């Protein structure tokens, strides 16, 4: 473990974290140069606009006289403003160069306790490349919070239900899908080539798309927090996240029943902009890798495998305290990353498939019939492969029983100071393997409530 490589990586990651928490970056300076308008001192007081299904776009957008569309609301905002979306169904929106400012983000959120749904099927678009939300140009300092984003196109159910026995069936169904699906295939797109940054997506419920959740070009210092993302990538091959860039964070997301879950990519053929120096932590990642009929370039076929977490190319990423279970392939990696204190359970084909010996794989639980496929020389230490004695995996409770062999089986890592629940590591004689640290005498800690609910038969 204490190799020169891992120490060098630790320093690199710490530097990355420090950079992520700093205030001044080249891309922000570039963004500031592009951002027209007022300085902080000159900026008017932040406004709050409302959208409601009984509103009108001729209204002023106040709580008493709300807008009808999110498009009108988004077209009205400036840095620091908030849009509150009342309960009900809405069409999506498009923006260009929508930018808040440091300390004055533009926030678009659901009203407290109300279910606000952006449904792509309200304004259907031809072809599966459409999206419910399009963030064109350079987007910066935005927050999207608490919204449901989906596509209620009933054709999706019909096409997904077509029985596929061979290539000819798949081709015929895909040909129909291209013609007959009219809702957009993606939830959110951030336009490539603009280095968008500081966009936060949190508490969103993104589901039921034929292709993707998010599709972006390179983005920086963006965060995905506590989103529920599911039912994506069928019948076309697709992803919950198709994202690249640096210093991004995924934390606390629940990702399931997708073809691919995370697809963190980079440009091919040695060009720049891989996925670097990002943090992926405390996510629940399960039932991904579903079979999807697919079209990829000129190739057509039945895609029988998918990967829950795909990262290539990219280095300096820390993947910690995640639970990955019942996926087809759990994880694919190249580059030089840290995969530490994750719990892998009942993944089916491969657990970690790595194309690089420089990935550091430490303190994980591997409890699967699936195997790791790793190059010789990979730093593979302090992982637990014996039955880890989970409290109740079937109910989503991956805490450790008192006699678990994972207890104190790990090594102390500077990147992992807490567990999935936020409990300080280590407890007892040393760090545990897996996403949860056993805390003697703490009584039972419950499984994540949403996970328990989802797994309940």
In the bound state, the residue with its beta carbon closest to Ca ion is 428
> Which residue stretch of 64-72, 202-210, 334-342, 427-435 sits at the interface with Ca ion (rule: CB under 5 A)?
427-435
Subset of residues 36 to 95 that bind Ca ion, contact rule: CB under 5 A: none
Query: Any residues with CB less than 8 A from the CB of 263 and at least 6 apart, and which?
Result: 239, 240, 241, 242, 243, 307, 310
Strands (E), 92-165: 93-96, 106-110, 116-119, 131-136, 140-145, 148-150
Looking at the Cβ atoms of 137 and 405, the one nearer to Ca ion is: 405
> Which residue stretch of 131-139, 335-343, 394-402, 424-432 sits at the interface with Ca ion (rule: CB under 5 A)?
424-432
| Residues that contact Ca ion, how many (by CB under 5 A) | 5
Query: Any residues with CB less than 8 A from the CB of 38 and at least 6 apart, and which?
Result: 44, 79
Looking at the Cβ atoms of 284 and 400, the one nearer to Ca ion is: 400
Looking at the Cβ atoms of 92 and 426, the one nearer to Ca ion is: 426
Could you tell me the smallest distance in angstroms from the CB atom of residue 406 to Ca ion?
9
Indicate the DSSP class of residue 124. -
Looking at the Cβ atoms of 205 and 408, the one nearer to Ca ion is: 408
Could you tell me the smallest distance in angstroms from the CB atom of residue 381 to Ca ion?
16
Cα–Cα distance, 251 to 240 (Å, whole number): 14
> Which residue stretch of 193-201, 283-291, 318-326, 426-434 sits at the interface with Ca ion (rule: CB under 5 A)?
426-434
Looking at the Cβ atoms of 73 and 433, the one nearer to Ca ion is: 433
Q: Are 323 and 342 in contact (CB under 8 A)?
A: yes
- Residue written as token pair 């892998």: 344
Query: Any residues with CB less than 8 A from the CB of 107 and at least 6 apart, and which?
Result: 81, 82, 83, 142, 143, 145
Helix (H, G, I), strand (E, B) or coil at 158: helix
Looking at the Cβ atoms of 16 and 434, the one nearer to Ca ion is: 434
Subset of residues 277 to 316 that bind Ca ion, contact rule: CB under 5 A: none
Could you tell me the smallest distance in angstroms from the CB atom of residue 426 to Ca ion?
5
Looking at the Cβ atoms of 7 and 412, the one nearer to Ca ion is: 412
Could you tell me the smallest distance in angstroms from the CB atom of residue 49 to Ca ion?
50
Indicate the DSSP class of residue 86. P
Query: Any residues with CB less than 8 A from the CB of 272 and at least 6 apart, and which?
Result: none
Among 255, 432, 433, 435, binds Ca ion (CB under 5 A): 432
From residue 437, how far is each of 105, 302, 310, 360, 363 by CA, in Å?
A: 36, 41, 26, 20, 11
Looking at the Cβ atoms of 75 and 421, the one nearer to Ca ion is: 421
Could you tell me the smallest distance in angstroms from the CB atom of residue 113 to Ca ion?
39
- Residue written as token pair 């792509």: 120
Helix (H, G, I), strand (E, B) or coil at 290: coil
Residue 102 tokens read as 């440091």
| Contact status: 428 vs Ca ion (CB under 5 A) | yes
Could you tell me the smallest distance in angstroms from the CB atom of residue 380 to Ca ion?
20
Site string for Ca ion, 380-419 (x = CB under 5 A): ----------------------------x-----------
Judged by the rule CB under 5 A, the positions of this chain that interact with Ca ion are 408, 426-428, 432
């Amino acid at each position: 473990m204490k190799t020169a490589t891992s120490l060098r990586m630790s320093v690199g990651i710490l530097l990355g974290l420090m950079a992520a928490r700093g205030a001044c970056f080249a891309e922000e300076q570039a963004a500031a140069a592009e951002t027209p308008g007022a300085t902080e001192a000159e900026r008017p007081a932040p406004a709050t606009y409302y959208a409601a299904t009984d509103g009108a776009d001729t209204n002023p957008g106040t709580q008493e006289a709300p807008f009808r569309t999110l498009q009108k609301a988004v077209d009205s905002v400036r840095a620091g403003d908030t849009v509150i979306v009342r309960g009900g169904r809405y069409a999506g929106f498009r923006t260009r160069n929508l930018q808040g400012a440091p300390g004055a983000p533009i926030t678009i959120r659901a009203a407290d306790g109300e279910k606000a749904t952006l449904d792509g099927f309200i304004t259907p678009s031809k072809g599966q490349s459409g999206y419910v939300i399009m963030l064109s140009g350079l987007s910066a300092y935005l927050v999207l919070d608490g919204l449901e984003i989906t596509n209620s196109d009933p054709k999706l159910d019909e096409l997904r239900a077509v029985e596929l026995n061979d290539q000819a069936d798949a081709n015929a169904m895909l040909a129909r899908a291209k013609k007959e699906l009219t809702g957009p295939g993606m939830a959110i797109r951030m336009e490539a080539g603009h280095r968008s940054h500081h966009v936060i997506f949190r508490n969103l419920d993104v589901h039921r798309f034929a292709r993707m959740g998010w599709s972006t070009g390179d983005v920086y210092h963006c965060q995905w927090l506590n989103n529920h993302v599911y039912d994506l990538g069928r019948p076309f091959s697709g992803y919950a996240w198709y994202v690249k860039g640096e210093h991004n964070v995924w934390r606390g997301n629940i990702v399931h029943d997708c073809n691919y879950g995370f697809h963190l990519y980079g440009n091919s053929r040695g060009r720049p902009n891989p996925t670097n120096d990002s943090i992926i932590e405390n996510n629940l990642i399960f039932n991904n890798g579903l079979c999807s009929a697919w079209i990829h370039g000129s190739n057509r076929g039945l895609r029988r495998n998918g990967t829950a977490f795909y990262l290539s190319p990219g280095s300096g990423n820390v993947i910690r305290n995640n639970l990955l279970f019942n996926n087809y392939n759990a994880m694919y990696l190249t580059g030089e990353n840290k995969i530490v204190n994750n719990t892998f359970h009942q993944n089916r084909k491969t657990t970690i498939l790595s194309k690089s010996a420089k990935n550091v794989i430490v303190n994980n639980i591997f409890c699967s019939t699936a195997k790791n496929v790793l190059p010789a020389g990979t730093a593979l230490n302090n992982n637990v492969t014996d039955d880890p004695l989970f409290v109740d995996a079937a109910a989503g409770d991956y805490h450790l029983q008192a006699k678990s062999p994972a207890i104190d089986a790990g090594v102390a890592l500077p990147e992992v100071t807490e567990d999935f629940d936020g409990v300080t590591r280590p407890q007892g004689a040393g760090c545990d393997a897996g996403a949860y640290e056993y805390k003697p005498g703490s009584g039972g800690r419950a499984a994540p409530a949403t996970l328990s609910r989802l797994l309940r038969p």
